[in-house]
């Protein structure tokens, strides 16, 4: 499996620092489980961060600093960097299995347009970000849209093409509010994606804008 599209360097840095919202961290971790190149980039980034931290001057700490650090580690729910994971019977990379214990076959899709379905995935905290699955039927297209914020889209099955190129299994599209595109699923197999967003999409067509509250996108 050749993976050609990876997270933006700023996204990978935020993942390394543990500052991404859980939905975004889940998408990046799943991508890393599928991509040796992505894991190698993260290892280099962690090494650089460690070296920079080591060069910082020493600082005086309070008497309870160590105990507070240990308490924080005990309560740390951040997603860890995934090791390469061979797919189990459910065919899912390890970081995604806790969100889909029944696998993709258990997903209850919500119709959100001709040939397009979505399914929200629950995560551990409340927040403005959203983690969901997107399925586009083979040969169908997603209505042209922009993004009100950041969007990460990881291909789990099939492939799609847009003005940024072809995205197949393991590829990750990292878009911000300046992007407008219209993904088109390739013939032969439905395209299923893991998506994290922190704002609603902005559709170009008048009909889609009118129906957007119904679809919840």
pLDDT of the residue at 43:
86
Domains of the chain (ranges plus CATH)?
A: 100-215 (2.60.120.10)
Q: Considering only 15-19, 159-163, 197-201, which range has the smallest mean pLDDT?
A: 197-201
What pLDDT, on the 0 to 100 scale, is given for residue 181?
80
The structure's pTM equals: 0.78
pLDDT at 207: 45
- Encode 121-147: b = buried (16+ Cβ within 10 Å), e = exposed: bebeeeeebbbbbbbbeeebbbbebbb
What is the spatial distance between Cα 154 and Cα 169, in angstroms, rounded to a whole number?
A: 8
pLDDT in tens, 96-152: 999 998 899 899 999 887 898 999 998 876 667 889 999 999 999 887 767 678 899
pLDDT at 70: 74
Confidence of residue 49 (pLDDT cuts 50, 70, 90): low
Residue 81 in this model has a pLDDT that exceeds 60: no
């Amino acid at each position: 499996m050749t993976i050609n599209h990876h997270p933006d360097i700023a996204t990978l840095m935020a993942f390394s620092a543990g500052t991404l919202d859980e939905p975004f961290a889940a998408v990046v971790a799943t991508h890393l489980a599928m991509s040796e190149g992505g894991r190698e980039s993260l290892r280099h980034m962690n090494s650089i961060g460690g070296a920079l931290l080591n060069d910082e001057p020493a600082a005086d700490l309070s008497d309870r600093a160590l105990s507070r650090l240990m308490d924080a580690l005990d309560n740390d729910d951040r997603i860890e960097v995934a090791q390469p994971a061979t797919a189990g019977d459910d065919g899912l990379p390890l970081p995604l299995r806790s969100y889909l214990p029944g696998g993709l076959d258990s997903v209850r899709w919500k119709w959100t347009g001709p040939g397009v379905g979505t399914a929200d995935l629950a995560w551990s905290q409340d927040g403005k970000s959203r983690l969901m699955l997107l399925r586009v039927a083979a040969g169908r297209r997603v209505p042209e849209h922009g993004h009100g914020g950041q969007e990460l889209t990881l291909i789990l099955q099939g492939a799609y093409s847009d003005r940024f190129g072809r995205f197949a299994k393991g590829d990750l599209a990292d878009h911000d509010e300046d992007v407008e595109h219209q993904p088109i699923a390739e013939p032969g197999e439905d395209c299923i994606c893991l998506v994290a967003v922190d704002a609603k999409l902005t559709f170009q067509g008048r009909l889609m804008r009118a129906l957007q509250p119904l679809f919840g996108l």
